[in-house]
Amino acid sequence: TVVVLDFGSQYTQLILRRVRELGFYSELVPYDATEQEVTKLQPAAFILSGGPASVYDENAPKIPDYVFKSGLPVLGICYGLQALVHQLGGRVERSDRREFGPAKLHVEKGIGVFEDLPAEFTVWMSHSDRVEELPDGFEGIARSENSPYAAIRSLDGRYYGVQFHPEVIHTQYGKEILRNFLKKVAHLEENWSMSDLSEELIRQLRERIGGGRVILALSGGVDSSVVAMLLHRAVGNRFIPIFVNTGLLRKNEPEEVIRTFDGLGIKIHYVDASERFFKVLDGVEDPEEKRKRIGHTFIDVFYEEAMKLRELYGDVKYLAQGTLYPDVIESKVAERKAGAKIKTHHNVGGLPENLPFEIVEPLRYLFKDEVRALGKVLGLPDSILKRHPFPGPGLAVRIIGPVTREAVVLLQEVDHIFIQELKSWGLYDQVWQAFAVLLPIKTVGVMGDYRTYENVVALRAVTSEDGMTADWAKLPHEFLNHVAKRIVNEVKGVNRVVYDITSKPPATIEWE
Ligand code: XMP
Q: CB neighbours (10 Å) of residue 91? A: 12
Q: Ligand 1 within 6 A of 206 CB?
A: no
**What is the spatial distance between Cα 304 and Cα 269, in angstroms, rounded to a whole number?**
13
pLDDT at 256 over 60: yes
Q: Fold match between 2-185 and 194-385?
A: yes
| Atom number, ligand 1, closest to the C-alpha of residue 388 | 24
| Atom number, ligand 1, closest to the C-alpha of residue 464 | 24
Say whether 78 is catalytic. yes
**What is the spatial distance between Cα 221 and Cα 215, in angstroms, rounded to a whole number?**
16
Cα(80) to ligand 1 centroid in Å equals 35
For the chain, which residues make up each domain, given as ranges? 2-185, 194-385, 397-499
| Candidate list 86, 99, 127, 167, residue with the active-site label | 167
Q: Ligand 1 within 6 A of 347 CB?
A: yes
pLDDT at 199 over 50: yes
Sequence-ordered strand ranges (E) for 324-418: 358-360
pLDDT per position as a tens digit, 393-448: 999 999 999 999 999 999 999 999 999 999 999 999 999 999 999 999 999 999 88
Q: What is the mean pLDDT of the chain?
A: 93
Q: Ligand 1 within 6 A of 26 CB?
A: no
pLDDT per position as a tens digit, 12-35: 988 998 999 899 999 999 999 999
Say whether 27 is catalytic. no
Per CATH, the number for 2-185 is 3.40.50.880
Residue 221, annotated ligand binder?
yes
Instruction: Give residue 295's pLDDT.
Output: 95
Instruction: Give residue 332's pLDDT.
Output: 67
Q: Identify residue 329 by its one-letter amino acid code.
A: I
Fold held by 194-385: Rossmann fold (3.40.50)
Using DSSP bridges, classify how beta strands 120-127 and 130-133 pair: parallel, antiparallel or unpaired: unpaired
- Cα–Cα distances (Å) from 9 to 187, 241, 338, 459, in that order, read 26, 39, 19, 37
Contact criterion met (CB below 8 Å) for 159 and 148: no
Q: State whether ipTM is beyond 0.95.
A: yes
Q: Ligand 1 within 6 A of 346 CB?
A: yes
Q: Ligand 1 within 6 A of 375 CB?
A: no
Q: 230-251 burial by CB neighbour count: b if 16+ within 10 A, else e?
A: bbbbbbeebbbbbbbbbbbbbb
Residue 198, annotated ligand binder?
no
| Candidate list 86, 99, 127, 165, residue with the active-site label | 165
Say whether 454 is catalytic. no
> Which helix (H) or strand (E) segment is 68 a member of?
helix 65-70
Cα(483) to ligand 1 centroid in Å equals 24
- Tell me yes or no: is domain 397-499 CATH 3.30.300.10: yes
pLDDT band at 488 (very low <50, low <70, confident <90, very high): very high
